[in-house]
A and B are shown apart, each in its own frame.
Chain A
Amino acid sequence: MSTAAPATTSAKVNLADYKDVWVFLQRKDGRLSNDSLELLAAGRKVADQVGQKLAGVLLGSNLRGLPEEALDYGADIVLAVDDPELRTYHTMRMIDTLESMILKRKPYAIIFLATEFGRELAARLAYRVNSGLATDNVDFEVQDYFNPKFNEMFPKTMTQVRPDFGSRVAKIWTPRHRPQVATLKPGSFTPLQRDPSRRSKGVIEKVQLPRPGKSYALTVKELVDLPKSNVDLEHASVVIGLGLGILRGADGSPRNPIEAYKLATELKELIERKWGLKTEIGASRGLVMANVRALEGIITRDHELGQTGTLISPDLYIALGVSGSAPHRAGIRAKKILAVNPDPGAPILLAATYAVVGDLYDFVPKLIDTLESLPDKS
């Protein structure tokens, strides 16, 4: 005979008991990460629509200044757990802490960033608190949701909008469970204006670490910061991205990718000289992972663009031979995109401001000539 599942799962959740929108904030270089500011903007939207408070959740060691920053950028409340045991990004430790906070305070929703760390926390936590999970959302909207299968109306439910199989989006609901757990794709929201006057109205609540000293079967032995990269993709005005497409011409014939790199360098130098715009060369994850012999030491992991690499927001992104998978596009929030790809169906062309269906080896020299021929900006 089959064993029965724990009773907790079949017990119906009283949806009205759950209040407030939580966002799980992460830090970078002693401040809230830029993604976290976007997350506060997303959370603000949901909280306003549902008519509840927005709480920033901060877990870590030595949180100095971060709770105040969260209030400035849109939080009404900050739940801060400041404890040396949280220093090492111990996933299980973090999940235990969040679980105990959720059981005690019953939030309406909790939203994480769709980063390596946010993803795993959200997934395991959602299961542990008997809820569902919608990942990589690009937008949220609070609506009354009617489900024809249950023939039931769920008032004020969070509609979660996420990309679905490449070039589509789908709406997702977690109608019957609370908290609604979601992750937000970085780059989907614009941070709110910093408003230090919010600080006096906000509440910073210090939360004790539950079960301090608990031991785990997994221990963090070492936490090493990777050296700062000498490629400053983050602050470049123009980024030229190279993808696996540089290995072949439009006719499929093999090309030496170093040629594409030289063209990109020439283009970079031209833009820097003529327009005075800081320009950097990056690469898709595909190209970085391919470990192409000819590009050894030239294209490294420091060049990686997209969700798993550096998130960029330049004025112009020039994509050469990049197909534009969803994780790649998620990391690019350029004002303008110029995409060159021989395949008219390449997703990057869909996202482009200027689309060029063709061979980058033909196009880039022509572009360089054209840009050279333009009158000097002065």
Chain B
Amino acid sequence: MLIIALVKGVPARTAKVVRVDNIVQRDAMEMVINPNDETAIQAADYLKRRVGGKIVTLSMGPDSRLKPVLAPLYGAEATGVDEEIILSDPKLAGSDTVATSYAVGHAVFKIYEKHVAPFDDLIELVSGNASIQQIEAKARELYDQNLLPNKVYNEEPGTRTSIIGHLVEGNLSREEAATRLRTERSNVTKFVIVAGIRTTDGETGSVGPQVAEVVSQKMGIELPHATYIEELDVDPDSLRIHAGRRIGRMIQRLEIEAPCLMTFAPEYVPKKIPFVDFNRVIENYYKGKLKEATKWTADILGADPARLGFGGSAVIVGPAILMGAPSGQKTLDKSLVFTKAADKMTVEGKEYGPFKPGDVADALPQATKDELLSKGSVVPFNMKMLGEALLA
């Protein structure tokens, strides 16, 4: 099973967002992996351990910033991430969710194509006039590029357990080999896209469902999506997925045929891996991890440039306005409140009041507050006042 995990780099502290010309400058901020995407990686890992296959992460953003953020995904053996792809191009800056989904969806399709094409190449060679040596050389080349599972080709010493291995040994006819390659190809076409329910920066949760729509339109199929998944299981034979999600006060249980897209709620915890035929899972693994993330630019997506980045965005975001505290907020032991009514007053050309007893004086200039305090017109907002006001 080909598993594509969408991973976003988000600002570590949303309080320090850097913008130029109202476009978020992601390369000027400290980044971390979106915490919800880590949940999705756990789900990807579960699927890979259950049925084999390969996990490819896909990110969009400046590659120089994303590489260090993604690095820990290689480190831990527990996360079976095989490859990382970073979509990095200034042309993608200023994307709204629609333009982001458009680019990401095209990249997903590219990843899918990249993993199906090797089967087509081999099937063509096996069905054509290529020599066995040529076929084996091609298989080795593709295997070394992490594009074929062990089941199709491997270099297990002393044995020839793969389809191409059996073909080389003469245990399999060309026709039989081609048939088995076609079966394996169809397993790759049942790919799964996983993502977190939303990012901690945009918080829209829109990109998942929209990517499913982009891939659907690109492939001419209807690729279903399911969001907020908390329960996940997969049938290793049919590759059918069973998922449960919570909407409101209901649990909805689903059966999904891959290809599909799923987003995972933070409540998701991977199930225990049951006793499975581990050899079968291993057969579906690929050669190994690629140590370095691959950078893709917008040109290789085969996408319409007019639909990328700011220009491809349907929505326009105005400048952010800071929301202040509600007027009349009282801070314990800090705010000053009037002890009796006070008339309207003008200080340095600005008007304040009139004030009722209990009204907060915090907006007044410091000197005025000091004066009022010395006269006893205002007092600090204390515990007793709080207690009295609280349930009044």
A residues touching B (Cβ–Cβ < 8 Å)? 2-6, 9-10, 28, 88-89, 91-92, 115-117, 119-120, 122-124, 126-128, 131-136, 147, 149, 164-177, 216-226, 238, 271, 275, 277, 289, 316, 326-327, 336, 338, 345, 349-358, 363, 366-367, 370-371, 373-374
Contacts and interface: CB of A to CB of B under 8 A. Distances in A.
Interface stretch (B145-153, B157-165, B197-205): B197-205
Contact of A355 (B246, B255, B331, B383): B331
Interface of B: 14-15, 17, 96-98, 101, 201, 203-210, 212-214, 217, 222-228, 242, 245-257, 260, 266-267, 299, 301-304, 306-307, 313-326, 328-332, 334, 383-384, 386-391
Given A132-B315, A166-B15, A355 B251 contact: no
B28 to A, nearest CB: 14
B313 A132 contact: yes
**Chain A: interface secondary structure?**
mixed
Nearest to B265: A308
Given A133-B204, A371-B387, A124 B14 contact: no
A225 B249 CA distance: 6
Contact of A358 (B225, B255, B260, B332): B332
A343 to B, nearest CB: 11
Contacts of B17: 165
Given A116-B228, A123-B208, 7 more contacts: A123-B204, A124-B209, A124-B225, A127-B213, A220-B252, A316-B391, A353-B326
16 contacts: A116-B245, A123-B209, A127-B214, A132-B315, A134-B315, A167-B322, A168-B320, A168-B321, A168-B323, A172-B318, A173-B316, A217-B260, A223-B251, A355-B332, A357-B331, A367-B383
A172 B306 contact: no
A28 B217 CA distance: 34
A351 B326 contact: yes
A88 B213 CA distance: 21
A170 B317 contact: yes
B320 A135 contact: no
Contacts, number: 239
A311 to B, nearest CB: 11
B209 to A, nearest CB: 4
B307 A354 contact: no
A371 B222 CA distance: 61
A133 B203 contact: no
A173 B315 contact: yes
A123 B322 contact: no
A174 B315 contact: yes
B253 A170 contact: no
